[in-house]
C-alpha cells in the first residue's frame, strides 16, 4: 500500500546520531567562544520554562516534559526542563499576568518582536529578560557560527540598539520556511495517465480531466477539481496569481513593494479564474469555504486538488484515508511557472528566516550560562535531529543517509495522526 511519508528534514541529512556519553557537539571558530560539550553540567539541574502548548501535542500530552525528545535532552545535557503552559487561547492574558506578578520562570518562549508592549528592547529595560550578546558570543558556538554564516539573521534577531534578546526560532532553508502549497490526488493523476501540473495550462488540463474523467470511479460526475479553504485570510484560488509572477496582495519585487490587484497581470488572472469557475473546475463556494468543508470534500473522494498545510492537511488526510481507501495518495505540486519560466512564491512565511518568536533567558534565572549552552545545543546538528526527528531507532531511522520516520509516527498505534504523532515525540512549535 502506498503512503505519503512526510519527513521533517533537519539541515544535516547525512549525519547520523552520535551515541557516546560525553562528546563535543560543535567546533570553535574564531570569535565563537568555547566549544559545547555534553553533558553541559555533571551536577543535574532543573530549569523552569514557560511556553504555549501546541494544539497538536495537547491531543495526547498535558506537558512537554512527557515528550520523548525532552526526556532524551535531559539525559544528554544534565538539564531537565520543567514546563508551565498557559491555557490554549489565553496565552497573552497569562503572559501579561506573569509579567505583572514578576514571578518569572528561567526561560520564556514568546513572540517578543510583535507581542511584548514596547518591543523586546523594553523587555530588557523592564528587567524581564537579559541581553544575550555575551551569552551568545561566549557560550553559544553553534548559534554564533550560524549568524556568522548568515549576517541577515543578526539584523532580525537584535533590538534597534543591537541587543540580542532571545535564542531565535530560525527556519534556515526554503523547505522549512514553506509549510504550505498545492496538493493533488496523485492516484487520480495516475489513473487518468496525467503528470503533476507545472504550468497554468497544465493545471487547466488536469482539472478538466478530473471534472470529466470520473477519477473517483463512482460513475457520477461529482468531482470538484479544485477546492478551497482560507489560509492566512487568502483563499486558495488567489494562490494561482503566482502563475503571472504577481502576489495576491502586497508583495516584494526586488526592492519594490507592489500590490497584486493593481498589476496588469491581475486582470489575466481574473479572466482565467472566471473561465475555470464557469466550467466547474473550482469549488462554487470557494469564497465562503472552510477547512471543515474542504476536509469533507477530500475525505468523501470528491476533491482533486487544493492549497493546504503539509501537516494539518496532507498529513491528516493521509492518516484518515489509510483504511478507507488504500489507494488514496496525495502529492505536492510546484507553484505554477510564470510566463518568464520562473516559479514565484509570495508566501509571507517564506520570506522570514528568523521568526518573531524565540526563547529568552529571564532576569530570575540562576543558571544563565548553563541555559545559554542548553539553548545553543538546539542549533547543533545533533540537537536539530533530536528536536525535529526524535530518537533514532524509536521515531526514525537513517536510510541511505536520509531520515525516515518509523511506523510509531506514520502509523501510530494509538491512532494519532501524523502531525499529532510528531508533536507527541519531538519538540512541537506552539
Domains in the chain, start-ordered, CATH in brackets?
23-172+353-425 (3.40.190.10), 180-348 (3.40.190.10)
Q: Compute the CA torsion angle 399, 403, 405, 406 (nearest 10 deg).
A: 40
For residue 14, the model assigns a pLDDT of 25
Residues sharing a CB contact under 8 Å with residue 282, sequence separation 6 or more, in sequence order: 224, 225, 226, 228, 237, 273, 276
Strand partners, 38: 23
Q: Please enumerate in sequence order all residues whose Cβ is within 8 A of that of 327, keeping only pairs 6 or more positions apart, or say none.
A: 2, 187
Cα–Cα distance for residue pair 65/326, rounded to 1 Å = 36
pLDDT in tens, 331-373: 989 999 998 998 887 765 455 677 778 999 999 999 999 999 9
For the residues 83-90, what does the mean pLDDT come to?
94
* Spatial distance between the Cα atoms of 373 and 365, rounded to a whole number of angstroms: 14
Q: What is the pLDDT of residue 32?
A: 52
User: What mean pLDDT do residues 218-247 have?
Assistant: 86
What residues form DSSP beta bridges with 164? 158
Query: H or E element: which one contains 309?
Result: strand 303-309
Angstrom CA distances, 246 to 165, 253, 334, 343, stand at 36, 9, 16, 11
**CA dist 97 → 65, 94, 119, 357, 362 (Å):** 23, 5, 17, 19, 16
Indicate the pLDDT class of residue 24, thresholds 50, 70 and 90: low
pTM of the model: 0.69
Task: Give the pLDDT of residue 230.
Answer: 65
Task: Spell out the residues 6+ positions from residue 110 whose beta carbon is closer than 8 angstroms to its own.
Answer: 50, 95, 116, 357, 358, 360
Alpha carbons 178 and 217: distance in angstroms, whole number: 33
Comparison of pLDDT for 88 and 291, the residue scoring more:
88
Mention every residue, 6+ apart, whose C-beta is less than 8 A from residue 89.
Answer: none
Record the cell numbers describing residue 147, joined without a space. 549568524
Which tens digit of pLDDT belongs to each residue from 132-182? Answer: 999 999 999 999 999 999 888 898 889 999 999 999 988 766 556 666 789
Tell me what pLDDT residue 422 has.
92
Q: What is the pLDDT of residues 8-17, one digit of tens each?
A: 323 222 222 2
Amino acid at each position: 500500500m502506498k503512503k505519503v511519508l512526510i519527513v521533517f528534514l533537519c539541515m544535516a541529512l547525512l549525519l547520523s546520531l552520535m551515541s557516546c556519553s560525553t562528546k563535543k557537539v560543535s567546533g570553535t571558530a574564531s570569535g565563537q567562544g568555547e566549544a559545547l560539550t555534553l553533558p553541559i553540567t555533571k551536577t543535574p539541574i532543573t530549569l523552569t520554562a514557560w511556553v504555549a502548548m501546541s494544539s497538536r501535542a495537547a491531543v495526547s500530552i498535558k506537558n512537554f516534559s512527557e515528550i520523548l525528545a525532552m526526556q532524551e535532552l535531559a539525559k544528554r545535557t544534565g538539564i531537565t526542563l520543567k514546563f508551565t503552559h498557559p491555557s490554549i487561547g489565553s496565552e497573552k492574558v497569562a503572559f501579561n499576568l506573569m509579567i505583572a506578578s514578576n514571578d518569572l520562570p528561567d526561560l520564556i518562549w514568546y513572540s517578543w518582536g510583535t507581542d511584548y508592549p514596547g518591543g523586546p528592547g523594553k523587555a530588557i529595560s523592564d528587567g524581564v529578560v537579559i541581553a544575550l550578546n555575551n551569552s551568545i558570543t561566549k557560550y553559544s558556538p553553534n548559534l554564533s557560527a550560524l549568524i556568522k554564516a548568515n549576517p541577515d539573521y543578526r539584523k532580525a534577531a537584535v533590538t534597534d540598539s543591537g541587543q540580542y534578546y532571545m535564542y531565535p526560532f530560525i527556519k534556515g532553508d526554503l523547505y522549512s520556511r514553506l509549510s504550505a502549497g498545492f496538493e493533488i490526488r496523485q492516484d487520480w493523476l495516475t489513473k487518468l495517465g496525467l503528470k503533476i501540473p507545472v504550468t497554468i495550462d497544465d493545471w487547466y488540463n488536469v482539472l478538466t480531466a478530473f471534472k470529466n474523467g470520473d477519477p473517483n470511479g463512482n460513475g457520477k460526475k461529482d468531482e470538484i477539481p479544485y477546492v478551497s479553504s482560507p489560509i492566512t485570510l487568502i483563499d486558495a484560488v488567489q494562490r494561482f496569481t503566482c502563475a503571472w509572477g504577481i502576489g495576491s496582495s502586497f508583495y516584494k519585487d526586488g526592492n519594490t513593494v507592489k500590490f497584486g490587484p493593481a498589476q496588469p497581470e491581475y486582470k489575466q488572472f481574473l479572466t482565467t479564474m472566471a473561465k475555470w469557475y464557469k466550467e466547474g473546475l473550482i469549488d462554487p463556494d470557494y469564497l465562503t469555504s472552510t477547512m471543515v468543508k474542504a476536509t469533507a470534500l477530500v475525505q468523501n473522494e470528491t476533491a482533486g486538488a487544493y492549497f493546504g498545510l503539509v501537516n494539518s492537511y496532507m498529513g491528516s488526510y493521509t492518516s484518515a484515508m489509510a483504511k478507507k481507501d488504500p489507494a488514496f495518495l496525495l502529492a505536492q505540486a510546484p507553484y505554477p511557472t510564470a510566463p518568464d519560466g520562473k516559479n514565484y512564491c509570495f508566501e509571507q512565511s517564506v520570506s522570514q528566516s528568523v521568526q518573531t518568536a524565540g526563547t529568552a533567558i529571564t532576569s530570575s534565572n540562576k543558571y544563565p550560562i548553563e541555559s545559554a549552552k542548553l539553548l545553543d545545543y538546539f542549533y547543533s546538528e545533533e540537537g536539530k535531529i533530536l528536536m525535529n526527528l526524535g530518537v533514532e531507532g524509536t521515531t526514525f531511522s537513517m536510510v541511505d543517509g536520509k531520515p525516515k520516520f518509523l511506523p510509531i509516527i506514520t502509523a501510530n498505534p494509538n491512532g494519532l495522526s501524523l502531525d499529532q504523532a510528531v508533536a507527541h515525540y519531538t519538540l512541537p512549535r506552539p
